[in-house]
Amino acid sequence: MTVWLHIVAIVLLASLGGALWRVWRGRSQADRMMAAQLIGTSGVAVLIVLAALQDWTLLVVAFALALLAALAAVGFVTSQSPDGAGDPEEAHPPKGWRDRGRNG
């Protein structure tokens, strides 16, 4: 049983590596954010498998990681639009709105 769970953990890490490739190559920001979401979730899955293998208190760590992965994506979305709503229905933002924050 432990051998199988080790194999599962290793293959999960391999799938995490595949998602990292998308982070590196993803043309748009949204692609990178999707991959970060998948990395967060496969991290949670690895932690769950390790909890079964070694110590059951790792489940709390997996819970915290699942929470943080969600908050990371929310942070990304709020940084995308000027008023932070990330709402496509609002009027098209004016030209050059993206870097108004950085160089005034």
Q: Name the token pair of 87.
A: 């709402």
Contact pattern from residue 31 through residue 50 relative to other proteins, giving x for each residue in contact according to CB under 8 A and a dash for the rest: x-xxx-xx--xx-xx--xx-
How far, rounded to the nearest angstrom, does the alpha carbon of residue 68 sit from its chain's CA centroid?
Answer: 9
For 54, other C-beta atoms within 10 Å of its C-beta total 11
Which residues of this chain interact with other proteins, rule CB under 8 A?
Answer: 1, 4-5, 8, 11-12, 15-16, 18-19, 21-22, 28-31, 33-35, 37-38, 41-42, 44-45, 48-49, 51-52, 56, 59-60, 62-63, 66-67, 69-70, 73-74, 76-77, 80-81, 86-88, 92, 95
